[in-house]
Amino acid sequence: MKKAKVVDFSRGEIPPPDGKGKIGVVEAMNPSDVVRLAHVSNFSHIVQKDGMAFENELKTAEAMTENVMQFLKDPLSVIFGPQPDDQPRANMYVVNPVTEKKTSTLDKFEEFLKSIKGARRIREQAILVADELYTNAMKIGHPHEKMSTTQFAREGTVEFFAEHDGSRLVLGCRDSFGELGFSQVLTRITQCFDKGVVHSINNGDGGAGIGSFMVFNTCISYYCGVDKGRATVVCVALPLGVADTDLASLPKNIHLVAA
């Protein structure tokens, strides 16, 4: 089993570019620098001391590092811990063939949100994030995504799941293709931070990066695991009871692991 190595940079030191496989602990780091630290310094995890549920996020980073396959198999149990017998956490789970349209799943998620205390304030953002995650997972199964029919779709599945513990809502997708590249996603997000979303759109070089940027900028934690050629899991955590206008300014964590 791979042992997680924690490197504490919360006192303002500049991390060296040798963080591959390591957990970087930081403090008061803005979102753009979190992405750069993961991208340029190659840290697999960036966890903020002043962020929400710091101890839990650090444990999640360690668990993802030491047992990637468990995260890929059951990401919610790794993020939240095992379901308690006395007070099980409310959740939802849907699995569809890649050819299935996303409307039904998103409708079920919207109904699920109505049952969660504190979700009303982030409802719109949560639905946008769910739409983006599901769309990205589904697109991988459609090599000819400009086609209007599904005849070119590969065989495969998209799973959508969500769960909350009263303070955090975690939602995510698993596809059966395992083709996501961390560098590509981080580059797209960085471009949006550097150039601005509007400039990226106007210059035509934002592409799918706009959606990836929106997801990261909205969440407090971004979790991703890839088993190449087999599965990709992307999850995010959103805080319950927080105004949607405050989401972008909250400390952000990032977790990236590959089997």
Model pTM above 0.75: yes
d(CA 96, CA 221): 25
Give, in order, the Cα–Cα distances in Å from 126 to each of 56, 81, 166, 258.
Answer: 21, 22, 15, 26
Determine what percent of the chain is predicted with pLDDT higher than 70: 86
What are the φ/ψ torsions at residue 258 (nearest 5 degrees)?
-135, 140
pLDDT digits 0-9 by tens, 215-226? 999 999 999 999
187 burial (CB, 10 Å; 0-12 / 13-18 / 19+) is middle
pLDDT, residue 151, reads 56
Assigned domain for 103 exists: yes
Tokens representing residue 119 in the block? 């979700």
Residue 209 has pLDDT above 90, yes or no: no
pLDDT, residue 128, reads 96
pLDDT, residue 2, reads 74
pLDDT, residue 147, reads 44
80 burial (CB, 10 Å; 0-12 / 13-18 / 19+) is buried
pLDDT digits 0-9 by tens, 38-80? 998 889 999 999 999 999 999 999 999 999 999 999 999 999 9
Angle between helices 209-218 and 31-39 in degrees, nearest 10: 120
pLDDT digits 0-9 by tens, 105-142? 999 999 999 999 999 999 999 999 999 999 999 887 66
pLDDT, residue 68, reads 96
Assigned domain for 137 exists: yes
In angstroms, how far is the first alpha carbon of the chain from the final one? 12
Give the domain CATH number at 157: 3.30.565.10
Count of domains observed in the chain: 1
Assigned domain for 59 exists: no
Mean pLDDT of the region 153-180: 94
Assigned domain for 64 exists: no
Assigned domain for 142 exists: yes
Q: Which DSSP string corresponds to 128-153?
A: HHHHHHHHHHHHTT-SSTT-SSSTTP
Assigned domain for 254 exists: yes
d(CA 225, CA 215): 16
Assigned domain for 19 exists: no
Residue range of the domain that includes 160? 75-258
Assigned domain for 241 exists: yes
Find all residues with CB under 8 Å of 211, minimum gap 6, and list them.
132, 135, 136
